[in-house]
Amino acid sequence: MSRDWIVGIDGCPGGWVAVGCPECSAPAQSVRAVVASDLARVLSVFGDIRLAGIDMPIGLSDDAPRDCDRMARERLGARRSSVFAAPLRPALAATTHAEASSLSRQANGKGISAQAWQLFRRVREVDSLLGEDATRREQLVEVHPELSFLAMNAGKPLPASKHRIDGIYRRRALVTDAFGAAVIESVVTHLAGSRVKEDDMLDAFAVFWSTQRRVGGRAECLPANPPLDASGLPMRIVY
């Protein structure tokens, strides 16, 4: 019998890490964790996907910052710096940081930070996949894990960064509350020997949590009525 999977995906050293389980199953029994160098491989491992959330921009503006990024920063307060500006579509084809900054300045007068440039390869990978395979457009949705953690934390942004030990402890506690310690330990076992760091694993769990909420009709969407980009992709973040 076919099983429709719900999946949360986050970038990690060397590629992507994903956590998911079939829609009709409890995570404790059926959780699966996958690490792969390319996104198409990650998705193929899960087979029939109901919905996959991913921490990467989907839907790119031609000439202005996305409203969803601005709204996410407003919601996150002290964690606002975790939301990087999505690249403008004209700059996406750049092969160097300098070229990307030049194309971005031509489009809206602003360059590209070094941190934002590091995301370009992954953004291109997601955008290319959605352009080549129309069925994936219905299966992938953008989720920001810090917004997920905000929702898991009773609507309050977490006080500490995920790069601090107290920040890791708090995020792990929220994930444990949501899924149970057995699920986390199962995923840790699946990921043993990989290059995945704990903060990447916890982010994948957070994205998975929001993706479940989206399937259940409980997730929030920024903005509520998202505009479409030139390729017909919605510029939104759900959590």
At what angle are helices 145-152 and 198-215 packed, to 10 degrees? 70
Q: With contact defined as beta carbons under 8 Å apart, do 112 and 77 qualify?
A: no
In the prediction, which pLDDT does 34 show? 94
Residue 41 lies in a domain: yes
Residue 43 lies in a domain: yes
220: nearest Cα among 209, 232, 205, 231: 209
Give me the sheet containing 32-36, strands edge to edge. Answer: 32-36, 15-22, 5-12, 49-54, 140-142
Which two tokens mark 55?
């921490």
Which residue segment(s) compose the domain that 26 sits in?
5-57+139-215
Residue 49 lies in a domain: yes
In the prediction, which pLDDT does 1 show? 35
Residue 145 lies in a domain: yes
In the prediction, which pLDDT does 190 show? 87
Residue 69 lies in a domain: no
In the prediction, which pLDDT does 115 show? 85
Residue 49 DSSP one-character state: E
Number of neighbouring beta carbons within 10 Å of residue 74 = 11
Q: How far is Cα 201 from Cα 101, in angstroms, rounded to an integer?
A: 31
Its pTM stands at 0.95
In the prediction, which pLDDT does 26 show? 67
Residue 199 lies in a domain: yes
Residue 13 lies in a domain: yes
As for how many domains the chain has, the answer is 1
Parts of the chain with a pLDDT under 50: 1
Residue 152 lies in a domain: yes
